[in-house]
Every structure is written in C-alpha cells, then in structure tokens.
C-alpha cells in the first residue's frame, strides 16, 4: 500500500519535474515473466524513480545496506520495495548477510517480479559507465540455476541520459534495450559458472552502453558539450531528412564522440585547430550567456518576432502573477532545502524531486483546508487544484522573458553593427563549416572501412 502511494505520487512528480521526457524501447520490456532491469547510474536515487515511472511494472530495488541500520529506516525502505546489499568497502562485517539478499532476489523472480539493479554500484554525473560489477549477473544466473533455467528471466538494459539532472524542468531520455535471455547462458553456465557470470557481466555492460550517451575518454567531455551546443542541431538541419527520432539522435551523438576520438588519433593537427576555434568561440558566448542565458538557443532557433514576444509577455502577465504568488513559497523552500541537504551533485536532482513533491503536496493540502474555512470545500479544492498549472505557466513565462531579452540583445547588436559581435557570428559560421567538412571526411572514412 505504501509503495503504491509513493509510486503514483512520484510518477506524477517525474512528469512535472522534467520538461521533455523521451522514452524509447518500451516494447522491449517482456510481460508475464520476471525481469531484471540494469542501468547506468548518473543521478543517485532519481534514477530508480525515473525508470520506475516508465517501466510500467512494480519494481524491487537493490540498495546500499548501510541505509538500513536504523530500524525505522529499515522498516520504511522495505515497505517501498528496497532490498539491502552490503559492500565490503563500507561494511565488511555485514557482507555475510548478502547470502540472504541473493535468496530474497531469487524468491522475487520466482514470483514473477521485477528487480532494478545499478551494476556500477555507485552514482556519478558523467557520460561514462563505470566498471560493471558481477553482482547482477550472479543474481540472475543463480536464480535461473536454482530453478533449472525454467524461470524465463530476462535482463533489460536501460540507458539514462539527462540534459542536467540537478535542475528542474530539464530533459531526460530513458532508453530500454533489447533483453538478454538467461536461457541462452544455460549450457555455458553448467560447464563453467564463473566464466559465464563474467561473460554475462560483459554483455550487460555493452548492452547498457548501447542505450546511453557514452564518452569513454573524460577529456572529450568538454569538446562534446561544445559540439552539442554549437553544431549538433545545425548538423541535423543539413540532413536530407532532418526529422530524426530520439533514438537516432542518441546514436548520432555517440557517433559524434567516435569522430572526436578518430580525429584526435589520425588527424591531430585538424583536431587541435578545431579545439582552438571552439575555445575561442565559447569564451565569447559564455560571457554573453552570463547575462542572456537563452542566447545560444536564439542562434540555433533563428530570428523570432519581437512583437510576438511583447504581446505574449503583456497578455501572459496576469497568469504569471497568479502562478508566482500561489507557488513561490513551496518552490523556493524546496529548492533551498535541496541545496542545503545535498552533499553531492548527483543527489541534488533527486532531492529536488522528492522534497519538492512533498513540500507542494502538504502546502496545497494546507491551503485547501485554509480556504475551506471561508468557502465551500469544492471551490477551495478546485482553486488549489489549478494552482500548480499556473505555476507551470509562470515558469514558462520566465523562459519567454529570457528568450525576449536574448532576442532584444541580438537585434541591438545587429542594428548598432557591433564589430566584436559581428566577428563572433562570423567565427561561429566558420567553425560550423569546418565541422561540416570534418563530418563529410569522417563519413568517407567509415564508408571505406565498410568496403
């Protein structure tokens, strides 16, 4: 009952927290059989909440055993389907309990349930997949072996790609990959269970990598962010068929990472030249975006009408004002509390989500009770019910205002024929053309390798 309440509440919260939600591969999730979901882990406890929202199955989660030391916490965590596992790095004296953990997982699979595991063992905001531990493979193979490989257990790889997991109203892409069938590992397991667990671990790692934005070399993080900001959308515009799916865009981003590695290895002079140009450009654009955060979006999106901006801001102001007044206190309080309680970057987004969910819930319940003193309950409930929607309108209004400022700045620079601004736009165009030539060259290399 407690799990179901949190499940419904957090599913609503996830849909509000993220501005754009892209979910692909849901058809890969088997029905009517036990499933183990394995995923990368960039966002701490936000990750299981997000996956649980779109998996359409009640999930049980492997969690750090250290969180279960307190009796009340242990009771609560078990009620929300969390299973403790103890790591020798943190609590070596408790690792003997992991035998019971494995048994509990086996029982869940035997009942046809689903289990969520993050095989990296820890979370960190980055474009990489850290070393995948063998626990997931050993649990899955152990469960099937105990049941003569008759469970029909499937392992579904999941890739999580956030635009910025720390911030409200950003984007998330959840990609469910094709499942690994444990039945296919039976013969090898019966010959050598250790080597089979090792092979399955490697297969799990490769399957997760295929579903996420993966950058192996952390030195490429900055250049990828620059290319994504400056060039990615411009590159797509030049395609014959620019309407790509999110899966295709994710694949294209991974190919972009490979191209960066290729040029660093086989054309270092060109790679160095492009990097210098990118650094020069982003020194200037970052300075502008400190005052006009939406300026880069303006460059990508192209010219927009100042008149439309002004009319939207004028007619939207009353709605913005109501949304601001009715949502400001819980919004600011939950943000402040999340910042104060978060000790790590990867925890910030999850804290914002959970704290915000309950802050707004209790705030609006209290507001309903207060308004009900003076008005009938139905009126009070309806009024409070629509307040969150006006809060979203208020956020949209602030984005519209930010876009208006960026457009105003752009037009001002063009009208005044600002020299440095003109040179920056010329540099931008020059870099895009250079990158386009490099892309075509890389495509020729790929074609020659395939022949």
Whether residue 395 is found in the same domain as residue 269: no
Whether residue 148 is found in the same domain as residue 64: yes
Whether residue 110 is found in the same domain as residue 152: yes
Whether residue 259 is found in the same domain as residue 324: no
Q: If we measure between CA atoms, which residue out of 277, 254, 274, 251 comes closest to residue 264?
A: 274
The Cα 219–Cα 29 span in angstroms is: 35
Tokens representing residue 290 in the block: 């400190």
Whether residue 360 is found in the same domain as residue 381: yes
Whether residue 236 is found in the same domain as residue 286: yes
Whether residue 275 is found in the same domain as residue 343: no
CATH assignment at residue 156 = 3.40.1130.10
Whether residue 31 is found in the same domain as residue 166: yes
| Full domain range(s) for residue 343 | 306-416
What is residue 117's three-state secondary structure?
A: strand
Last residue of a domain, one of 165, 184, 209: 209
Instruction: Count how many Cα atoms sit within 13 Å of the Cα of residue 46 in the half-sphere of its side chain.
Output: 34
**pTM (2 d.p.):** 0.90
Q: If we measure between CA atoms, which residue out of 63, 184, 43 comes closest to residue 116?
A: 63
Whether residue 226 is found in the same domain as residue 169: no
In sequence order, the β-bridge partners of residue 64 are 85
The Cα 210–Cα 25 span in angstroms is: 12
Q: If we measure between CA atoms, which residue out of 116, 440, 86, 114 comes closest to residue 259?
A: 440
Name the one residue in this structure whose structure tokens are 């060259």.
Answer: 441
pLDDT in tens, the chain (451 residues): 678 888 889 899 999 999 999 999 999 999 989 999 999 999 988 999 999 999 988 899 887 666 666 676 677 777 778 777 766 555 554 555 567 778 889 999 999 999 999 999 888 999 999 999 998 999 999 999 999 999 999 999 999 999 998 889 999 999 999 999 999 999 999 999 999 999 999 999 999 999 999 998 888 999 999 999 999 998 998 887 778 888 889 999 999 999 999 999 999 999 999 999 999 999 999 999 999 999 999 998 887 888 899 999 999 999 999 999 999 999 999 999 998 888 888 889 999 999 999 999 999 999 999 999 988 999 888 889 999 999 999 999 999 999 999 999 999 999 999 999 999 999 999 999 999 999 999 999 888 877 6
């Amino acid at each position: 009952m407690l799990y179901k309440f949190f499940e419904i509440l957090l599913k609503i919260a996830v849909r509000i927290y993220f501005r754009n939600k892209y979910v692909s591969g849901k058809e890969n999730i088997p029905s009517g059989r036990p499933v183990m979901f394995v995923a990368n882990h960039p966002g701490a406890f936000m990750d299981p909440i997000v996956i649980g929202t779109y998996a359409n199955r009640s999930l049980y989660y492997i969690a750090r055993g250290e969180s279960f030391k307190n009796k009340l916490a242990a009771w609560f965590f078990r009620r929300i389907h969390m299973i403790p596992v103890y790591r020798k790095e943190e609590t070596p004296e408790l690792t003997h309990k992991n035998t019971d953990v494995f048994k509990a997982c086996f029982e869940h699979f035997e009942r046809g349930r689903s289990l969520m595991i993050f095989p990296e063992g820890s979370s960190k905001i980055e474009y990489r997949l850290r070393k995948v531990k063998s626990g997931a493979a050993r649990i899955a193979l152990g469960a099937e072996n105990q049941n003569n490989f008759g469970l029909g257990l499937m392992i579904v790889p999941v890739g999580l790609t956030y635009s910025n997991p720390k911030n409200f109203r950003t984007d998330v892409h959840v990609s469910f990959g094709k499942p690994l069938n444990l039945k296919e590992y039976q013969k090898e397991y019966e010959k050598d269970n250790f080597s089979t667990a090792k092979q399955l671990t490697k297969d799990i790692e490769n399957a997760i990598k295929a579903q996420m934005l993966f950058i192996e070399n952390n030195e490429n993080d900055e250049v990828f962010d620059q290319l994504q900001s400056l060039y990615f959308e411009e590159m797509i515009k030049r395609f014959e068929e620019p309407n790509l799916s999110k899966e295709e865009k994710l694949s294209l981003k991974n190919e972009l990472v490979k191209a960066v590695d290729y040029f660093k290895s086989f054309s270092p002079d060109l790679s160095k030249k492009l990097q210098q140009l990118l650094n020069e450009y982003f020194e200037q654009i970052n300075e502008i975006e400190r005052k006009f955060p939406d300026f880069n979006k303006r460059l990508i999106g192209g010219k927009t009408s100042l008149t439309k901006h002004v009319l939207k801001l004028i007619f939207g102001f009353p709605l913005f004002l109501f949304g601001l007044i009715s949502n400001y206190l819980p919004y600011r309080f939950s943000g402040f509390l999340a910042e104060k309680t978060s000790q790590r970057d990867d925890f910030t987004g999850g804290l914002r989500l959970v704290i915000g969910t309950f802050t707004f819930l209790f705030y609006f319940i209290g507001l309903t009770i207060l308004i009900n003193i003076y008005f009938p309950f139905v009126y009070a409930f309806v009024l409070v019910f629509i307040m969150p929607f006006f809060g979203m309108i208020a956020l949209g209004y602030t984005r519209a205002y930010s876009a208006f400022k960026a457009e105003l700045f752009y037009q001002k620079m063009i009208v005044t024929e600002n020299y440095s601004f003109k040179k920056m736009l010329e540099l931008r165009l020059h870099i895009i053309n250079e990158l386009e030539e490099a892309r075509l060259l890389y495509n020729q290399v790929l074609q020659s390798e395939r022949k």
